[in-house]
């Protein structure tokens, strides 16, 4: 087998185009994924028109004031704005495709917000026009704008609540608050209670006012207790929400590392299957197969040599690819030996599938084409999310994904890169079994390999 | 083995593909240094017979005696790796044959084929005649007693054919038994010391070209006509 390996490596060395493709292809994929994962998404082009005059953008909340213009500029940070001068012009930009969306800040917005804050009446509205031609673009711009609007809403709520809490404190302890733009001095419930209690103490023991003022002091006590609780409650509502995250079914895989795993396995699959199928079929195209199996090499050894050649070369190339990807995405180098194990067994399983295809197709061009055609659906089936389909179709897809190496290899490599679930043992055993099964199928297909 | 001077003895060889009898009850013997041509119409069983002698196909019935040492086999189409040089092809097969000194065997075959000065060239760049020489050289690496050639000159021009037959004749002169199949009757007439005539899997005649002429009783200068007449007489 050693001399066959040497021979195949010599042939590969003299096929620079093929070898170049096999090396450049995964590296190109690695770099593309790396750049894609490390670059922030671009900002959507959005036509923006602010109808609010510069001097009318202020909203007064107690003794504080907010400026609508500052929130509008916040919104502009998450988009690439196209400044327009009318709502009609903004809509036209969306219609002709120059903008993915248009945002209109109506002139009445500050008044509407002011009314809502002070009287609880009104519904402040920002107008948004979306280009629905491309649903992906639509989702992209919707997310960008709604995220920013939610931040603005949260900020306004927080500041309104701050003012409300401060005013309650003034009512409790005394001080000054703004009502209708005027500073009003408040005595405060605590001070009022002290005064009433002092007055009651100074009254004659049999005075009729003692009972009445005692009721006033009791009410003041109750109010002080109630408002004492209200302040921290309101303050907590005004705080930003915190997320209580619960992890189910083990640790989650970072999205970037998962994407890197997919890129590595796709490359491993293509390189191994094309190489294994093509190099086996080459033995027949060169008319060497019959000569080899005439007592020099057994068919089983020939298959093993092709699987080792293809799996070994592809594993080495994808290992380099993973190292390159790790420049952009965090992969756990302390688990390097598991990287090697996952890629090696994945390579063997894909190699066995490749030689089965090569033995069945027999011609180099047919084998390469068939290997390519088989690869794509295998990857797609394994990547269909489990909740995307239901019933019988899900069962069928699960079975198909189980009988081909892509899913098991992806699980093994993802675990090797990140330590995520499921554990690596089962996928590795799965890959070893698939390698044996496809190897046996390839051996059966070799029975008619030499026939013309 | 029937006698000490016999290299190979074939007894009642039969091969069937389904219901079709590709080779039926074929027997003959080969002596050292014989150059034997197998002729016959298409589908006569020539390639099947050579494949069984080479060990590529197993017979359904019959025995082969004297092939304790593997016969050298040269398939009709050159079975070489075109991206490797002549020397690399020879070295690979010498190693797979587990020869005690592969490099010496490679040097010997390059010398015999006259390709020593072109040993480093990729086989794909050699002429058809030179490729066929390398193809035959691989069959001779293990110094077999019997060399089996399946239509060795089929794709060669007249000059290349001439040089090839000089090479093959020299092998026979050195004691190697050579068995070849061909459709080219003039090659058999010129080079074969004996003819095996097959038709529909049946061995119809074995002897020299002159003996076949005599059997038919035709013009002794036209072997092809004698061959066709013989087949007609036997109902083929």
Whether pLDDT at B4 is above 60 = no
What is the predicted pLDDT for the residue at A311?
A: 94
3-class secondary structure per residue, A353-401: HHHHHHHHHCCHHHHHHHHHHHHHHHHHHHHCCCCCCCHHHHHHHHHHH
- Chain B residues with CB inside 8 Å of A6's CB? 92
- Spatial separation of the C-alpha atoms in residues B132 and B109, rounded to whole Å: 13
Please state, in angstroms and as integers, the Cα–Cα distance from residue A50 to each residue in A31, A58, A236, A273, B100, following that order.
42, 14, 33, 58, 91
- Chain B residues with CB inside 8 Å of A11's CB? 81, 83-84
Contacts with A, B 117-146, CB within 8 Å: 122, 138
The alpha-carbon gap from B71 to the nearest alpha carbon of chain A, in Å, equals: 11
Tokens of A63: 């003794």
- Spatial separation of the C-alpha atoms in residues A191 and A186, rounded to whole Å: 10
Residue B205 · residue B215 · CB < 8 Å: yes
Whether pLDDT at A434 is above 90 = yes
What is the predicted pLDDT for the residue at A245?
A: 41
Q: Do A288 and B96 lie within an 8 Å CB cutoff? A: no
The alpha-carbon gap from A278 to the nearest alpha carbon of chain B, in Å, equals: 14
A10 interface with B at CB cutoff 8 Å: yes
Angle at B119 between CA B118 and CA B120, to 5 degrees: 95
Listed ranges A29-43, A86-100, A142-156, B154-168; the one with the highest mean pLDDT: A86-100
What is the predicted pLDDT for the residue at B234?
A: 82
What is the predicted pLDDT for the residue at A233?
A: 52
> Which of B51, B81, B89 to mutate: most A Cβ within 10 Å?
B81
The alpha-carbon gap from A282 to the nearest alpha carbon of chain B, in Å, equals: 9
A280 interface with B at CB cutoff 8 Å: no
Angle at A438 between CA A435 and CA A444, to 5 degrees: 140
Average pLDDT (A356-380) is 89
The alpha-carbon gap from B96 to the nearest alpha carbon of chain A, in Å, equals: 6
Please state, in angstroms and as integers, the Cα–Cα distance from residue B110 to each residue in A163, A199, B103, B104, B143, following that order.
100, 130, 11, 10, 14
Question: Which tops the pLDDT comparison, B92 or B236?
Answer: B92
Question: Which tops the pLDDT comparison, A146 or A378?
Answer: A378
Residue A102 · residue A94 · CB < 8 Å: yes
Could you tell me the pTM of the whole model? 0.67
B96 interface with A at CB cutoff 8 Å: yes
Residue B43 · residue B200 · CB < 8 Å: yes
Residue A358 · residue A306 · CB < 8 Å: yes
Average pLDDT (B21-37) is 91
Question: pLDDT for B54-110, tens place per residue?
Answer: 888 889 999 888 765 568 888 888 889 999 999 999 999 999 989 999 999 999 889
The alpha-carbon gap from B207 to the nearest alpha carbon of chain A, in Å, equals: 30
The interface predicted TM-score (ipTM) is: 0.81
Residue B54 · residue A292 · CB < 8 Å: no
Which residue does chain A place closest to B70, by CA atoms? Answer: A295
Which residues, in sequence order, are CB contacts of A423 under 8 Å at separation 6+? A415
Question: A346, A343, A367: which is closest to A356 by C-alpha?
Answer: A367
Confidence of residue B2 (pLDDT cuts 50, 70, 90): very low
Beta strand ranges found along chain B (DSSP E): 8-17, 20-30, 35-39, 61-65, 72-74, 146-150, 177-181, 194-199, 202-207
* Exposure b/e, B29-51, CB count within 10 A at least 16 = b: bbeebbbbbbbbbeebbbbbbbb
Size of interface A-B (CB pairs under 8 A): 51
The rounded percent of chain A whose pLDDT value lies above 90 is: 23
Q: Do A294 and B92 lie within an 8 Å CB cutoff? A: no
With tokens 């097959």, the residue in question is B198
Question: pLDDT for B97-146, tens place per residue?
Answer: 899 999 999 998 898 888 888 889 999 999 888 888 899 889 888 888 89
Angle at B173 between CA B169 and CA B176, to 5 degrees: 90
What is the predicted pLDDT for the residue at A241?
A: 38
- Chain B residues with CB inside 8 Å of A17's CB? none
What is the predicted pLDDT for the residue at B128?
A: 84
Q: Do A290 and B96 lie within an 8 Å CB cutoff? A: no
Closest residue to A10, CB basis, from B55, B80, B84: B84
The rounded percent of chain A whose pLDDT value lies above 70 is: 83
Q: What is the β-pairing status of strands B8-17 and B61-65? A: antiparallel
What is the predicted pLDDT for the residue at A342?
A: 95
Closest residue to A297, CB basis, from B83, B96, B122: B96
């Amino acid at each position: 087998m050693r001399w066959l390996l040497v021979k195949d490596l010599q042939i590969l060395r003299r096929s620079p185009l093929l070898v170049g493709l096999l090396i450049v292809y995964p590296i190109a994929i690695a770099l593309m994924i790396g750049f894609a994962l490390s670059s922030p998404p671009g900002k959507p082009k959005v036509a923006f028109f602010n109808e609010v005059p510069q001097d009318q953008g202020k909203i007064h909340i107690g003794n504080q004031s907010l400026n609508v213009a500052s929130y509008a500029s916040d919104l502009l940070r998450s988009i690439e704005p196209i400044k327009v001068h009318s709502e009609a012009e903004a809509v036209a930009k969306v219609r002709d495709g120059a903008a993915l969306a248009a945002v209109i800040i109506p002139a009445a917005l500050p008044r509407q917000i002011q009314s809502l804050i002070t009287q609880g009446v009104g519904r402040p509205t920002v107008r948004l026009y979306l280009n629905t031609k491309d649903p992906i673009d639509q989702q992209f711009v919707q997310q960008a704008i709604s995220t920013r609007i939610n931040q603005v809403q949260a900020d306004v709520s927080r500041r309104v609540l701050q003012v409300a809490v401060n005013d309650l404190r003034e009512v409790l302890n005394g001080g000054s608050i703004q009502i209708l733009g005027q500073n009003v001095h408040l005595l405060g419930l605590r001070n009022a209670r002290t005064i009433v209690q002092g007055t009651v103490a100074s009254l004659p023991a049999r005075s009729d006012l003692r009972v009445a003022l005692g009721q006033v002091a009791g009410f003041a006590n109750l109010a002080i207790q109630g408002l004492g609780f209200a302040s921290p409650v309101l303050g907590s509502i005004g705080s930003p929400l915190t997320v209580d995250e619960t992890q189910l079914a083990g640790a989650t895989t970072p999205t970037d590392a998962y994407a890197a795993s997919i890129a590595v396995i796709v490359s491993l699959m293509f390189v191994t299957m094309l190489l294994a199928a093509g190099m086996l079929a080459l033995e027949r195209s060169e008319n060497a197969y019959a000569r080899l199996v005439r007592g020099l090499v057994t068919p089983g050894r020939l298959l093993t040599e092709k699987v080792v050649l293809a799996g070994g070369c592809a594993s080495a190339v994808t290992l380099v690819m993973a190292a390159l990807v790790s420049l952009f995405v965090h992969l756990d180098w302390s688990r390097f030996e598991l990287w090697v194990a996952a890629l090696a067994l994945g390579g063997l399983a894909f190699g066995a599938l490749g030689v089965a295809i090569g033995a069945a197709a027999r011609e180099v061009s047919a084998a390469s084409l068939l290997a390519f055609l088989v690869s794509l659906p295998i990857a797609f089936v394994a990547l269909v999310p489990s909740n995307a389909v239901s019933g019988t179709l899900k069962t069928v897809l699960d079975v198909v994904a189980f009988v081909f190496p892509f899913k098991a290899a992806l699980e093994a490599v993802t675990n090797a890169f990140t330590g995520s679930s499921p554990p690596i043992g089962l996928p590795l055993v799965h890959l070893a079994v698939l390698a044996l099964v496809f190897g046996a199928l390839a051996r059966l297909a070799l029975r008619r390999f030499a026939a013309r | 083995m029937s006698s000490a001077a016999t290299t190979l003895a074939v007894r009642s060889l039969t091969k069937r593909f389904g219901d079709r009898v590709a080779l039926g009850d074929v027997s003959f013997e080969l002596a050292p240094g014989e150059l034997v041509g197998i002729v016959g119409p298409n589908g006569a069983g020539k390639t099947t017979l050579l494949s069984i002698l080479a060990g590529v196909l197993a017979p359904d019935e019959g025995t082969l005696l004297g092939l304790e040492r593997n016969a050298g086999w040269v398939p009709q189409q050159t079975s070489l790796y075109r991206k490797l040089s002549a020397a690399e092809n020879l070295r690979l097969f010498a190693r797979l044959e587990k020869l005690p000194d592969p490099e010496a065997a490679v040097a010997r075959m390059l010398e015999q084929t006259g390709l020593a000065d072109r040993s480093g060239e990729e086989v794909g760049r050699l002429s058809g005649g030179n490729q066929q020489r390398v193809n035959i050289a691989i069959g001779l690496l293990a110094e077999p007693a019997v060399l089996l050639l399946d239509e060795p000159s089929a794709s060669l021009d007249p000059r290349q054919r001439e040089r090839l037959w000089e090479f093959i004749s020299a092998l026979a002169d050195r004691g190697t038994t050579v068995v070849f199949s061909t459709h080219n009757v003039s090659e058999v007439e010129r080079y074969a010391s004996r003819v095996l005539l097959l038709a529909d899997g049946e061995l119809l005649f074995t002897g020299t070209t002159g003996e076949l002429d005599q059997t038919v009783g035709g013009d002794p200068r036209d072997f092809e006509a004698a061959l066709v007449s013989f087949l007609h007489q036997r109902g083929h």
